[in-house]
């Protein structure tokens, strides 16, 4: 059994914590100094439910870093090598944020809220300090702060049905990675909340940027009362689903020790763009020495050492892993060292049951191309 | 029972984690994206042991932010309102770090390692991003990074005895908040490690800035083998001890919402100094509206709401609290709103056993002046 988590004011609770507890959370992590559930019933039971029904996730830990003012666009562009010149209001952008060496500092969803206003919905590092440090040092005319916003994610194939019962059919008009302010009619009045079609799963769904504690709690309760027949449950980002969907996790898969290209995020780096970005000069001349890849082990693996080896020589390391009950294989995201690896694809992994073999592949996992068929379709 | 903690690569393990587990850790927190034990046997048993014997703490989560180069002194001074003009090599300084508004961003122990080299031993926020952001924005000639250093604390009244058995009598010459490089003779060779007389307790002791994994593990084992007769145990920062000692915790007691003066750190702010500090202009004109204070409830209190009230009106909030078995009272660190509070000292607290009264006092707690006598001297 894992040790318990000590909860204090520093590991902030959220407006939904009492509801998450009542729903039977069994494990947490701390993310952006805040509680994030990681498991309710079991990773596998949570997974099948997410793939079949609809879940409400307390992802308050997706802290918003608001950047507002005349220099807001300039600052956001400085922080990322992705070209935002043509960014439109009401759109979401997956952005690698990098320092002057090209190292990944965070990978938020950036939302263009208004002409001079961005929200960065950040992964687990204090982007507010990075952005404020740059703004202070460069004397930019911007305000940088963490507003009181607690995102709720509604995820799963029945998410749209549930959301339309609460917000009306207008949610159906929100395209993928689009965001719209929608009215939520709470007891205390009407609140305008940003609603995006997004979320950290590939089962479809929305994220609601809750901006009032009481209205948010009423919204949570309404999602559950109106979703009873849809088998709605409290959930959370699920390790099995995110591995199958090849969703990267900052701090687990990549971070200060990787460039976006080494993390396979090439499509979010505009090397040829004529933009003012802190990291582009370094990224243009950087020669990747490692690369994130997928790894498949054809059975359940009790991995006891994160090294990948070939004939005893280390060629990489496992960064995240878990068993896929759908495909009957163990999946991992691994960081490979390009020089010793070459074009080899078979690697050795140390497990509690002895040495096992795995095969490397590109990300995202393409189960068809890999010849893997679902051995189980539901829980 | 509390939920479990999910441990992943993102919530970094340390070179000592397997030893902490073997020693029977029962609860963790996450601090600077890293595991930090919070309890072994029980808060109270851990407390009495710390006060009577000696403990070895894995405080690897006290990440070092190294600032090196010609502009190192300039950058560190910019970040803090404390005058460092006369700082000498080999000394440690408790520093509030503040932004241009005067808000507390962190409160590290800063160590002047060499003429142009500082280590900030930081509390729980990504100071590396703040410092890098400023350095990048101001084009300072410094290198800012987190070196591979994992501090071990040796704390308790027998700490000096144990340390001198491992490092020799030279440890006795290290004064409070002084630091010296000492040789540690490991199997793989001799390692020079910085050793300071410091630590997050008031029971006396040292912090060893371990810079090699294997040598550090050997050091851990040697501290235990040479300390058996001293009843050495694995330990961790203890909530009871730190409350009695009035040691503040970033994120619990103060943070972005407080200035150093509001946190009672006036002695670390040199308002009249002729230094280049980002926060001094704001701090010089800031009028505090709140203040950290102590609170004493004359019995064990099952606090169920963090509000402090007087006749139903909120005058502050509880930020950290715990029962002191030594004095038989419940202690809290509270943030009071100066305007509604005035000079009143009696406040109401909601507990699971009904409303209880508490009395406010200045920090640090002065148990003699408060008329409190120890009702128990050992566990």
CA atoms B311, B315, B319, B325: torsion sign: negative
| Residue of B5, B29, B99 with shortest CB distance to A27 | B5
Question: Which of B126, B147, B254 to mutate: most A Cβ within 10 Å?
Answer: B126
Average of per-residue pLDDT across A229-254? 98
Contact call for A137 and B132, based on CB within 8 A: no
> Both B46 and B156 in a single domain?
yes
**Nearest chain B Cα to A22, which residue?**
B3
Listed in sequence order, the residues at least 6 apart from A185 whose beta carbon sits closer than 8 Å to its beta carbon are: none
| Residue of A1, A2, A39 with shortest CB distance to B7 | A2
Q: Is B126 on the interface with A (CB under 8 A)?
A: yes
CA distance B109 to B95: 6
Q: State which of B145, B169, B194 marks the end of a domain.
A: B145
Cβ contacts of B131 on chain A, cutoff 8 Å: 133
Listed in sequence order, the residues at least 6 apart from A344 whose beta carbon sits closer than 8 Å to its beta carbon are: A310, A315, A360
Q: Is residue A228 part of a domain?
A: yes
Average of per-residue pLDDT across A331-352? 96
pLDDT at A2 over 80: no
pLDDT digits over A175-234, tens only?
999 999 999 999 999 999 999 999 999 999 999 999 999 999 999 999 999 999 999 999
For residues A245 and A100, the answer to whether their CB atoms sit within 8 Å is no
Q: Is A136 on the interface with B (CB under 8 A)?
A: yes
Q: What is the CATH number of the domain that holds A106?
A: 3.30.70.1400
pLDDT over 90 percentage in chain A = 98
CA distance B291 to B340: 12
Touching B: A residues 43-72, CB under 8 Å? none
Q: How many domains does chain B have?
A: 2
pLDDT at A3 over 90: no
pLDDT digits over A281-302, tens only?
999 999 999 999 999 999 999 9
Q: What is the mean pLDDT of chain A?
A: 97
CA distance B152 to B62: 9
Q: Is residue A196 part of a domain?
A: yes
Instruction: Retrieve residue A138's tokens.
Output: 């460069």
> Both B118 and B86 in a single domain?
yes
Instruction: Retrieve residue B368's tokens.
Output: 């003699």
> Both B221 and B82 in a single domain?
no
In Å, how far is B168's CA from the nearest CA of chain A? 36
Q: Is A276 on the interface with B (CB under 8 A)?
A: no
Contact call for B278 and A136, based on CB within 8 A: yes
> Both B87 and B196 in a single domain?
no
Q: What is the CATH number of the domain that holds B209?
A: 3.30.1360.120
> Both A105 and A185 in a single domain?
no
Helices A127-137, B127-137: axis angle to 10 degrees equals 20
**Nearest chain A Cα to B30, which residue?**
A30
Q: Is A131 on the interface with B (CB under 8 A)?
A: yes
Region label for B102, one of left (φ > 0), alpha (ψ between -120 and 50) or beta (otherwise): left
Q: Can you give the residue range of the structural domain that contains B161?
A: 17-62+148-242
CA distance B338 to A248: 47
Q: State which of B226, B242, B258 marks the end of a domain.
A: B242
By CB atoms closer than 10 A (0-12, 13-18, 19+), residue A282 is: middle
Residue with tokens 């990440």: B63
CA distance A341 to A316: 8
- Model ipTM value: 0.97
Confidence of residue A46 (pLDDT cuts 50, 70, 90): very high
Touching B: A residues 289-308, CB under 8 Å? none
> Both B152 and B223 in a single domain?
yes
CA distance A271 to A279: 10
Cβ contacts of B3 on chain A, cutoff 8 Å: 4-5, 21, 25-28
Contact call for A251 and B125, based on CB within 8 A: no
Contact call for B126 and A125, based on CB within 8 A: yes
Touching A: B residues 184-243, CB under 8 Å? none
Residue segments in chain B with a per-residue pLDDT below the cut of 50: none
Residue with tokens 């939302």: A111
> Both A140 and A72 in a single domain?
yes
For residues A72 and A142, the answer to whether their CB atoms sit within 8 Å is yes
Q: Is residue A222 part of a domain?
A: yes
Instruction: Report strand pairing: A55-58 vs A233-235.
Output: parallel
Average of per-residue pLDDT across A350-357? 96
Contact call for B130 and A132, based on CB within 8 A: yes
C-alpha dist (Å) from residue B105 to A114, B59, B125: 28, 20, 7
> Both A79 and A207 in a single domain?
no
Chains A & B: contacts with CB separation below 8 Å: 150
By CB atoms closer than 10 A (0-12, 13-18, 19+), residue A200 is: buried
C-alpha dist (Å) from residue B22 to B18, B26, B48, B62, B197: 6, 11, 21, 22, 27
Contact call for A6 and B29, based on CB within 8 A: yes
pLDDT at A327 over 80: yes
CA distance B322 to B354: 18
In Å, how far is B209's CA from the nearest CA of chain A? 22
> Both B56 and B69 in a single domain?
no
Cβ contacts of B137 on chain A, cutoff 8 Å: 133-138
pLDDT at B278: 98
Q: Is residue B108 part of a domain?
A: yes
pLDDT at B1: 55
Listed in sequence order, the residues at least 6 apart from A267 whose beta carbon sits closer than 8 Å to its beta carbon are: none
Residue with tokens 């507010």: A128
Q: Is residue B8 part of a domain?
A: no
Q: Is residue A69 part of a domain?
A: yes
Q: Is residue A355 part of a domain?
A: no
| Residue of A5, A21, A99 with shortest CB distance to B5 | A5
pLDDT digits over A56-101, tens only?
999 999 999 999 999 999 999 999 999 999 999 999 999 999 999 9
Q: Is residue A305 part of a domain?
A: no
> Both A139 and A204 in a single domain?
no
> Both B55 and B68 in a single domain?
no
> Both B54 and B160 in a single domain?
yes
pLDDT digits over B15-73, tens only?
999 999 999 999 999 999 999 999 999 999 999 999 999 999 999 999 999 999 999 99
Contact call for B2 and A6, based on CB within 8 A: yes
Q: State which of A99, A129, A145 marks the end of a domain.
A: A145
């Amino acid at each position: 059994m894992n040790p318990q988590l000590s909860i204090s004011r520093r590991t902030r609770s959220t407006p939904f914590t009492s509801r998450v507890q009542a729903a039977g959370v069994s494990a947490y992590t701390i993310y952006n100094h805040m509680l994030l559930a990681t498991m309710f019933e079991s990773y596998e039971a949570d997974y099948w439910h997410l793939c079949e029904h609809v879940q409400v996730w307390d992802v308050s830990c997706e802290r918003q870093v608001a950047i507002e003012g005349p220099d807001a666009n300039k600052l956001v562009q400085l922080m990322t090598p992705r070209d935002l010149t043509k960014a439109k209001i009401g759109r979401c952008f997956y952005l690698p944020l990098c320092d002057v060496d090209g190292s990944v500092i965070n990978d938020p969803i950036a939302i263009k809220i208004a002409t001079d206003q961005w929200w960065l919905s950040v992964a687990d590092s204090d982007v507010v300090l990075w952005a404020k440090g740059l703004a202070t040092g460069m004397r930019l005319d911007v305000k940088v702060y963490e507003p009181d916003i607690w995102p709720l994610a509604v995820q799963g194939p029945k998410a749209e049905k549930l959301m339309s019962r609460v917000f009306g059919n207008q949610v159906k008009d929100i395209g993928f990675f689009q965001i719209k302010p929608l009215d939520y009619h709470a007891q205390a009045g009407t609140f305008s909340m940003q609603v995006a079609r997004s979320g950290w799963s590939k089962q479809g769904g929305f994220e609601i940027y809750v901006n009032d504690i009481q209205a948010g709690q009423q919204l949570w309760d309404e999602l559950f009362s109106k979703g009873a027949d849809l088998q709605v449950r409290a959930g959370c980002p699920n390790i099995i689903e995110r591995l199958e969907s090849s969703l990267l996790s900052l701090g687990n898969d990549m971070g200060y020790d990787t460039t976006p290209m080494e993390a396979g995020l090439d499509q979010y780096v505009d090397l040829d763009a004529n933009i003012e970005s802190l990291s582009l000069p370094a990224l243009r001349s950087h020669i990747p020495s490692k690369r994130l890849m997928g790894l498949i082990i054809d059975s359940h693996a009790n991995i006891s050492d994160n090294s990948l080896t070939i004939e005893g020589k280390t060629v990489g390391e496992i960064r995240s892993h878990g068993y896929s009950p759908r495909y009957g294989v163990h999946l991992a995201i691994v960081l490979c060292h390009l020089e010793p690896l070459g074009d080899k694809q078979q690697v050795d992994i140390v497990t509690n049951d002895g040495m096992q073999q795995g095969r490397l592949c590109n990300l995202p996992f393409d189960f068809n191309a890999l010849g893997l068929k679902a051995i189980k379709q539901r829980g």
